[in-house]
Structure 1
Amino acid sequence: MKTLIVFSHTWFKGSKVNRALLEAAQDVKDVTIRNLEELYGQNPEKIDVKAEQKLIEDCDRIVFQCPVFWFSTPPMLKAYIDRVFEHGWAYGSQGHALEGKKLQLVLSTGGPQESYKAPTIGELFLPLTAVGNYTGMDVAPIRVAYGCLTISDSDIQKLCDNYKKLLSE
């Protein structure tokens, strides 16, 4: 399965878990990684909509990978969706480019799982699930790495192994 990882992290240089996950993903066959801040900085105007749409058209699965920032996505991921998933391409009477593709959310949190009981991660990220459903995508259950501020190296390795397994399916 050809997979496109659309990754966003405002402070990637300080990331421990997401950096490890991206490095692990690079080892998986048929995976393309788009690090939005690396490509476009913090400027949504720079997003190359047609190039990003072409990459999506050529994949079977889209993975949105990001840390949870104040109970939401980093701003560049939101801007990416707003710009790339445009009317007439992603939705509308002529917009069918995403239909049948799989959507996977891979999230990380600084806080422990107990911090996300009300609202839950599923409730917080319902808008992204709705985007997937609205555009005809097959939305997979959300994967979350909780407690990344205090996670052990062995637990990071387990996350990486599980991520590779997920991406290889």
Structure 2
Amino acid sequence: MTGIDPALEAELSAVYEEVMWLAARSNISPSMARAWYTHVRAGKLSRRIRHFSGKVSWRAANEHDSVLRLEHHKRLQTTLTSLVATHLERAKPDKMEFIRTIIECENVHIVTFRENYDAMKASGDYKLAGIRLVPWRSLPRERQQVLWASVLRGRVANAEAFRPKP
């Protein structure tokens, strides 16, 4: 795959093999196998893969006492679970599709804890969940500093691109 660090590609290939090995077990569902990535392996890998979209919910931007979350708006868990199920059904491994899907879905917006839950309940439909996004550049520098330090730094690969200028 072009544009990806070979070491990262090798790590994600190994994760794919682990996930599919788990999924092939009779007592393991595709969702349980997918959880190997999202709940076990993603911790270290996501800091190299996860990218901030540059969008913040209006509430996260304005409600300064809200608990904040990075929200996978491309439905990481649902998408990977479906992909694992498809790969099992067709019995044809495609690690590059898995890697592309992870890289695409490890894209996040900043939202409140409540909005994160509401987005999940609404199957990612932000309009139905009542989530309105605003661009990062429209936030006051002081709010950018708080969000960068508390939500982005050390948690997304492209954090430096959003570091507020002094």
TM-score by length of 1: 0.25
More strand per residue: 1
Query: Which has the larger share of helix?
Result: 2
Q: Relative contact order (C-alpha < 8 Å, sep 6+): which is higher?
A: 2
